[in-house]
Amino acid sequence: MTGPRDLPWLRHELLGLIGQRVALYADGPRSADAATMRRSAKSIAAGSLWWVSADMTRVALDASQDMPAWSIAAAMPDTSGLLWWAGRLPAVRYWDEDELAMHAGQMTAIMWCLHDGAMSMVPIIRLGEAGWIMPTSASISTAATSEDMPRLGTARWPDAAGVLSLLGATWTLMVEPQVAERRHRDQPRRDVARAARARESTSPITIVDLRPMRTVPEPGAGGESGRRLHVRHVVRGHWRQQWYPSSGEHRPRWIHSYLKGPDGAPVKASTPVMVWRR
Residue 223: its pLDDT value, please? 44
Question: CB of 81 within 8 A of CB of 50?
Answer: yes
Q: Using CA atoms, how far apart are residues 244 and 250, in angstroms rounded to an integer?
A: 6
pLDDT tens for the chain, 278 residues long, are 689 999 999 999 999 988 888 898 888 888 888 888 889 899 999 999 999 999 899 889 999 998 888 888 889 999 999 999 999 999 888 887 777 888 888 899 999 999 888 888 889 998 776 677 887 666 777 777 666 554 565 667 888 888 999 999 999 999 988 889 999 999 998 899 899 899 999 999 999 998 887 777 766 544 444 556 677 766 888 898 888 888 888 889 888 877 777 777 776 656 566 667 65
Tell me how crowded residue 56 is: count the other CB atoms within 10 A of its CB.
24
CA 99, 102, 103, 108 torsion: positive or negative? positive
The DSSP element (H or E) to which 8 belongs, if any, is helix 7-25
E-state strands within the chain: 48-52, 80-85, 91-96, 101-115, 118-126, 132-133, 140-143, 180-185, 205-210, 215-216, 233-235, 238-244, 249-255, 258-260
- Strand pairing class (233-235; 258-260): antiparallel
The structural domains of the chain, with segments of one domain joined by +, span 4-210, 215-260
